[in-house]
Structure 1
Amino acid sequence: MMSKPKVTIHDIAERLNITASTVSRALNDNPRISDVTKKAVLKAAKQLNYQPNNIAAALRNGKSHIIGVIVPTADRTFFSSVVRGIEEIANKLNYKVIICQSYDDYEKEVQTIDALLSARVDGIIASIGKNTENFKHYKRAQEKGVPLVLFDRTTEALDASQIVIDDYFGAYKVVEHLIQQGCTRIAHFTSPKKVSVFKERFRGYTDALRDNNIPFDEQLVVSSNLQLEDGRKSMEQLLQLKDIPDAVFSASDYGAMGAMQILKERKIKIPEEIALAGFSNDPFTSFTDPPLTSVDQLSITMGKVTAQIFFEHLNSAGSNNFSQKIVLKPEIIFRESTLRKQEK
Structure 2
Amino acid sequence: MSKRTEKTIVDIAAELNLSVSTVSRALNNNPNISDRTKEKVRKMAGKLGYRPNTMAAGLRNSKSKTIGLIVPKISMFFPATIITVVQNKLQEYGYHLIICQSNDSYEQEVALVNTLYAARVDGLAVATTLYTTTFDHFDVFRDNNIPLVFFDRVPKHYQARVVKGDDYLGGYTVTEHMIAMGCKDIAHISGPVTCNLYIDRMAGYKAALKKHKLPFHKSRVFFQELTRENALQSCEKIFAAPPYPDGIFAANDTTAIAIMEYCRKIRLKVPEDLKIVGYSNDPRTEIITPPITSVNQFPEMMGESVVAALMTLIQSPAPAAGSYAEEIIPIQLIVRASSVGKTTKGSKQ
TM-score relative to the length of structure 1: 0.94
Task: Give the 3 Å change call, closer, same or farther, for CA 244–197 of structure 1 in structure 2.
Answer: same
Distance, in Å, in 2 between the alignment partners of 1:231 and 1:341 is 26
3-state SS of 1:121 partner: coil
Kindly report which structure 2 residues correspond to 1:83-162, keeping only aligned pairs within 5 A, or say none. Answer: 83-162=83-162
Q: Which residue of 2 aligns with 1:330?
A: 331
C-alpha deviation, 1:48, in angstroms: 2.3
3-state SS of 1:295 partner: strand
Asked if structure 2 preserves the Cα contact closer than 8 Å seen for 1:86 and 1:307, the reply is yes
Distance, in Å, in 2 between the alignment partners of 1:18 and 1:139 is 48
Asked if structure 1 preserves the Cα contact closer than 8 Å seen for 2:132 and 2:194, the reply is no
Q: Which amino acid aligns with 2:331?
A: P
The yes-or-no answer on 1:265 pairing with 2:265 is yes
Kindly report which structure 2 residues correspond to 1:25-64, keeping only aligned pairs within 5 A, or say none. Answer: 25-64=25-64
C-alpha deviation, 1:3, in angstroms: 4.3
Distance, in Å, in 2 between the alignment partners of 1:85 and 1:274 is 36
C-alpha deviation, 1:15, in angstroms: 2.6
Asked if structure 2 preserves the Cα contact closer than 8 Å seen for 1:88 and 1:304, the reply is no
Q: Which residue of 2 aligns with 1:285?
A: 285
The yes-or-no answer on 1:23 pairing with 2:12 is no
C-alpha deviation, 1:87, in angstroms: 2.3
C-alpha deviation, 1:92, in angstroms: 1.5
Q: Identical aligned pairs, as a percentage?
A: 37
Q: Which amino acid aligns with 1:224?
A: Q
Asked if structure 1 preserves the Cα contact closer than 8 Å seen for 2:127 and 2:151, the reply is yes
3-state SS of 1:338 partner: helix
Q: Which amino acid aligns with 2:336?
A: R
Deviates more, 1:21-30 or 1:323-332: 21-30
C-alpha deviation, 1:274, in angstroms: 1.2
Q: Which amino acid aligns with 1:204?
A: G
Asked if structure 2 preserves the Cα contact closer than 8 Å seen for 1:117 and 1:141, the reply is yes
Distance, in Å, in 2 between the alignment partners of 1:106 and 1:195 is 12
Deviates more, 1:203-212 or 1:62-71: 62-71
Unaligned stretches of 5+ residues in structure 1: none
Q: Which residue of 2 aligns with 1:70?
A: 70
C-alpha deviation, 1:241, in angstroms: 4.5
Task: Give the 3 Å change call, closer, same or farther, for CA 90–219 of structure 1 in structure 2.
Answer: same
Unaligned stretches of 5+ residues in structure 2: none
TM-score relative to the length of structure 2: 0.93
Asked if structure 1 preserves the Cα contact closer than 8 Å seen for 2:226 and 2:254, the reply is yes
RMSD value, Cα: 1.9
Task: Give the 3 Å change call, closer, same or farther, for CA 323–60 of structure 1 in structure 2.
Answer: same
Distance, in Å, in 2 between the alignment partners of 1:284 and 1:135 is 34
C-alpha deviation, 1:340, in angstroms: 4.9
Kindly report which structure 2 residues correspond to 1:233-312, keeping only aligned pairs within 5 A, or say none. Answer: 233-312=233-312
